[in-house]
């Protein structure tokens, strides 16, 4: 009985210590918030004179990554869900596949028998499609990987 009572006492002590630690953490955060005045800035934002002056520019062709996503076509009875279905196969992944220190880009397509693209980063702001030599261009071919999955 005494052993059970000791365990419960230790448990209560640990719970109390955890609660006290969490409470001190919250108090510390509140003090930081009060000193930095970030709560005031969040609750009373100052109006911005104008929006930042920037714009996006399409440089995909110049960089060598001009790919247009092509959707799949199914039986017309699937027309109500085609927008969702057409987007399911679309994907882009960015990683350094060849360990040269530059981020490369892999692009899939939803189009049946449509090619995939693996763009190797040339390190100068341009990319080269190396999907065929890398063996990943035909992943959407009928009887290929997508049919197995």
Residues 57-73: tens digit of each pLDDT: 888 889 998 887 777 77
For residue 132, which phi and psi values (nearest 5 degrees)? -65, -55
Spatial contact of 64 and 127, defined as CB atoms under 8 Å apart? yes
Side-chain half-sphere of 25: how many Cα atoms within 13 Å? Answer: 6
Q: Write out pLDDT tens, residues 85-119.
A: 666 667 888 999 999 999 999 988 777 788 889 99
pTM over 0.85: no
Phi and psi torsions of 93, nearest 5°: -130, 140
Q: At which residue do the structure tokens 């997508």 appear?
A: 146
* Weakest-pLDDT range from 11-20, 30-39, 74-83: 11-20
Contact 118, 104 (CB under 8 A): yes
């Amino acid at each position: 009985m005494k052993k059970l009572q000791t365990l419960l006492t230790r448990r209560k002590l640990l719970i109390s210590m955890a609660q006290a630690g969490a409470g001190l953490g919250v108090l510390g955060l509140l003090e930081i918030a009060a000193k930095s005045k970030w709560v005031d800035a969040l609750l009373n934002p100052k109006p911005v004179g104008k929006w930042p002056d920037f714009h996006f520019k399409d440089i995909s062709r110049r960089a060598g990554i001009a790919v247009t996503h092509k959707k799949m076509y199914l039986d017309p009875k699937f027309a109500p869900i085609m927008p969702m279905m057409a987007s399911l196969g679309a994907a882009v992944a960015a990683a350094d596949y060849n360990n040269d220190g530059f981020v490369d880009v892999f692009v899939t397509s939803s189009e049946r028998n449509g090619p995939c693209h693996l763009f190797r980063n040339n390190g100068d702001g341009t990319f080269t499609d190396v999907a065929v030599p890398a063996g990943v261009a035909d992943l959407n071919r009928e009887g290929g990987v997508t049919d197995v999955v």
